[in-house]
Amino acid sequence: MNHNFKRVALVALTMTAALLITAGQSTANAQTAAPTAAPTNATSADPLGGATKFAVADKSTDLNLMLDYTPNTNHLGIYAAAALGYYTDAKLNVTIQQPGDVAVEQIVGTGKAEFGVSYQDQATFALQSGQPIVSLAAIVQHDTSAFATLHDKHPVKIPADLAGLRYGSFGSPIEKPTLDLLTQCPAVGAAANAAPIQYIDVGSAEPFPLMEKDRIDVTWLFYAWDGIRAKQQGLKIDFVFLKDYQQCVPDYYTPLLITNADMIKNHPDVVRAFTQATARGYTYAIQHPDEAAALLLKAVPDLDAALVKESSQWLAAQFQADAPRWGEQKASVWQGYADWLFKHGALDHALDTSSVFSNAFLPGTGAK
Amino acid sequence: VLNSRLSRLIWPLLTLAGIGLLWLILTNADTSTVRIIPTPGEVWAALLRNSQTLWTLHIPATLIETLIGLALALLLGIGLALLLDWSTIARQALYPILVISQTIPIIALAPVLILIFGFGIEPKVTVVVLFCVFPITVNTLDGLTATAPDAGLLLQSMGASRWQIWRKARLPSALPGLFSGLRIATTYSVTGAIFGEYVSSNAGIGQYMRIAYASAHVDQAFVAIAITALLSIGLVGVVAGIERLVIPWHYAHLRTARWDQSAPELD
């Protein structure tokens, strides 16, 4: 009996010790995992450009911000700014509107929403059709999209490997020039007479089952959302990132924060207050990705928590990347992409993009 | 009688069981890593996982849009039917437009609805009304015009005014049509609200479904489908109940017909 008790006690002790050690190790792992997860091109530059004071609207203002898509980690800074009271600090009462089957550029261009989330390609097309929109900030500094294949079916390392594959198209005018130029990119040794990509219209259908069932071979996705999601679902995927081949397809801003020309003319104080409060939100997302993820999940509980968490960690270093501050836009990126679209027939006429974006509302400007 | 009640219970249950079996077969056939058909268990788990937001946010939002839209469609539908019944010119002018209203794709309408109404409940209610007015108007109009001409003539010969003829003969004869129109409209109404939420929305079954598809959560999408179906069935049931209260003679008539048919067998 006594002997037995001793044995039990010993076993219990051993197990407790083992548990403690394992727990200690897993904490240690978690601690070391965080720096590894943080991508390498993070800079030490202050996302707020050194600003410590932020613009406030002249009077309390209600406004609508229309997202580009269902809420996702691209919107971390917006939900953070709302939850942490940065908009309230700026005397703004912001309602975040989710879009459905509407073009954000149209809604913002006509003033039904004062602000919106758009993309440089869509904004450029909207500009061509005369929508008076102005971009206030690049939410993510470099394009994070990639062409993706299932590794076991069609392994790809360089764009030339995509030649001859069947691409699941969602119907954007930039798909063909982007893919054609990418697969024929001479900078990475592609043959000029590579087999052409086949375009198969899949609309908004989920691409991965189509790839597994051999209906299509390649899809175009944003790594931070669909790429991470596919990996979490257990797929082995090869990615060709667009930003690695800027010699052939110029970099562009995806996504952007936009407003309309009327707001800039008549309510510059609101535009400045909104842009700076949003910059504070993204600064929080850059510095506290896990907390920012929790704020997004609290605001939109139906989202996939694991996806939001991993995506937030990955995006933290992408929001600002190598820019001197969060949101900064370059004239060369705007003009370069518009020229490229025009050259490859996706635009009807050449565009002057000098008035379509502005850095003049970012933090460090006009705070009282 | 017992036999017929039993069969009314057994056949729908057998149909449901058949659909369930088909579902399981499809689930097993879907061997992809990223599945497009969830198992019943996964759907149930998703329902439990999201029950908080579903009950407090999405179902109330969609239900309110549906009920307001349906009520407006009922008023507008009856009004239109009366107008079209009353005036031949109105019928010639408006009937084609009523048909055209059923052919407009919501995608084309979405930006217009936002530009007119903004982001509130109005665009969603408008879509419900667009879905629901047509069946109510057409069926009510059919009921009105199908009034036995002899009944009108008889009342006229007894010195009844146009209003009296309308109230005593045409209105009662239009009610069964009105209710069958309303039942069809109710079937469409929840789907209408969900289409409306696809225009732009921050809450509702449609918005929940869009988030589900955006992160490829087919289990959540199926939850949305199931809730839509249950809401629709529930609302249609309520309408059928009201119908029995308002026009009992219609049902008495049906019951008699059924009894007459089965009577010889009882012999």
| pLDDT tens column, A305-327 | 999 999 999 999 999 999 999 99
Distance CA B151, CA B165 (A): 8
Q: What is the pTM of this model?
A: 0.83
pLDDT above 80: residue A194? no
B201 to A98: CB separation less than 8 angstroms, yes or no? yes
Instruction: Using an 8 Å CB-CB cutoff, list chain B residues near A304.
Output: 215, 217
For residue A206, give the chain B residue with the closest CA: B216
> What pLDDT does residue A367 have?
56
Residue B168 is given by DSSP the state I
> What pLDDT does residue A298 have?
96
Distance CA B196, CA A264 (A): 32
Report the pLDDT averaged over residues A209-230.
93
Question: By three-state DSSP, how is residue A140 classified?
Answer: coil
B34 to A72: CB separation less than 8 angstroms, yes or no? no
Contacts of B77 (CB under 8 A, 6+ apart): B132, B133, B134, B135, B136, B137, B140, B181, B185
B49 touches chain A (CB under 8 A): no
Question: By three-state DSSP, how is residue A241 classified?
Answer: strand
AA identity, residue B54: L
pLDDT above 60: residue B259? no
pLDDT above 70: residue A36? no
Report the pLDDT averaged over residues A53-71.
95
- Residue B111 or residue B183, greater confidence: B183
B251 touches chain A (CB under 8 A): no
pLDDT digits (tens, 9 = 90+) for B67-121: 999 999 999 999 999 999 888 899 999 989 888 888 888 777 877 888 889 889 9
Residue A188 is given by DSSP the state G
Q: Which of A97, A107, A209 is opposite residue B32, by nearest beta carbon?
A: A209
- Residue A186 or residue A45, greater confidence: A45
Beta bridge partners of A221: A146
Distance CA A105, CA A134 (A): 10
Distance CA B124, CA A66 (A): 17
Two tokens, residue A366: 């006009």
Strands (E) located in A120-203:
133-138, 145-150, 166-169, 198-201
B210 touches chain A (CB under 8 A): yes
Percent of chain B scored above 90 by pLDDT?
A: 48
B50 to A302: CB separation less than 8 angstroms, yes or no? yes
> What pLDDT does residue A72 have?
96
**Closest-CA distance of chain A to residue B138, Å:** 30
AA identity, residue A302: D
B111 touches chain A (CB under 8 A): yes
pLDDT above 90: residue A345? no
Report the pLDDT averaged over residues B53-73.
96
pLDDT digits (tens, 9 = 90+) for B212-244: 988 888 899 999 999 999 999 999 999 999 999
pLDDT digits (tens, 9 = 90+) for A144-163: 999 999 999 999 998 889 98
Percent of chain A scored above 90 by pLDDT?
A: 69
Distance CA A113, CA A78 (A): 15
B211 to A70: CB separation less than 8 angstroms, yes or no? yes
Q: Which of A100, A229, A230 is opposite residue B110, by nearest beta carbon?
A: A100
Beta bridge partners of A198: A166
Report the pLDDT averaged over residues A280-285.
97
Contact between A120 and A254 under an 8 Å Cβ cutoff? The reply is yes
pLDDT above 60: residue A34? no
A72 touches chain B (CB under 8 A): yes
**Closest-CA distance of chain B to residue A66, Å:** 9
Q: Which helix (H) or strand (E) holds A93?
A: strand A92-97
Residue A48 is given by DSSP the state T
Distance CA A285, CA A296 (A): 10
Residue B58 is given by DSSP the state I
Instruction: Using an 8 Å CB-CB cutoff, list chain B residues near A70.
Output: 207, 210-211, 214
> What pLDDT does residue B261 have?
53
Distance CA B25, CA A356 (A): 54
Report the pLDDT averaged over residues B5-24.
88
A99 to B206: CB separation less than 8 angstroms, yes or no? no
In sign, the C-alpha dihedral spanning A338, A340, A346, A351 is positive
**Closest-CA distance of chain B to residue A320, Å:** 25
CA A185 from centroid of its chain's CA atoms:
25
Distance CA B27, CA B41 (A): 11
pLDDT above 80: residue B28? yes
Contact between B162 and B153 under an 8 Å Cβ cutoff? The reply is no
Contacts of B13 (CB under 8 A, 6+ apart): none
> What pLDDT does residue B241 have?
93
> What pLDDT does residue B260 have?
54
Residue A174, burial from CB neighbour count under 10 angstroms (0-12, 13-18, 19+) = buried
B34 to A206: CB separation less than 8 angstroms, yes or no? yes
B213 touches chain A (CB under 8 A): yes
Q: Which of B134, B146, B132, B133 lies closest to B177 in space, CA to CA? A: B146
Two tokens, residue B162: 């146009």
pLDDT above 60: residue A180? yes
Contact between A81 and A278 under an 8 Å Cβ cutoff? The reply is yes
Report the pLDDT averaged over residues A51-70.
94
